[in-house]
Structure 1
Amino acid sequence: MVEHDGGISRVMAAEMPTVRTLAHLAELTRSGEAPYLRYSPGPEADAGHSSTDHESGLTMPGVSANPLAAPGWWTLPLEDWLARRVCQYLRELDEGARPWLLSGTRVDFGPDNEPLLVDIRPVAWVAPELVEQARERYTSRLDAGAATHRDR
Structure 2
Amino acid sequence: MRTFTDLNDLTALVEARLPATELFVRWSRGPDADGGRCSRDGLTGGALPGLSANSLAVEPWWDDRPLRLWVARRLYDYRHLRERRGPGTRPWVLEGEEVGRGPDNEPLVRCHSPIGWISDEVLVECEDLVVSHAASPWGSLDREG
Partner of 1:44: 32
Partner of 1:30: 15
Partner of 1:77: 66
Deviation at 1:22, TM superposition (A): 1.6
Partner of 2:78: 89
Is there any run of 5+ residues in structure 2 with no aligned partner, and where? none
How many Å separate the matches in 2 of 1:35 and 1:123?
9
Aligned pair count? 134
Partner of 2:132: 140
Of all paired residues, the percent bearing the same amino acid is 36
Partner of 1:102: 94
- TM-score normalised according to structure 2 size: 0.83
Partner of 1:126: 118
| CA RMSD across the alignment | 2.0
Deviations 1:17-61 (A, max 9, x none): 111122111111122277110100000000141000101211100
Deviation at 1:147, TM superposition (A): 5.2
Is there any run of 5+ residues in structure 1 with no aligned partner, and where? 1-15
How many Å separate the matches in 2 of 1:93 and 1:48?
20
How many Å separate the matches in 1 of 2:43 and 2:140?
26
Match of 1:113 among 92, 105, 108: 105
SS of residue paired to 2:95: strand
Deviation at 1:148, TM superposition (A): 9.2
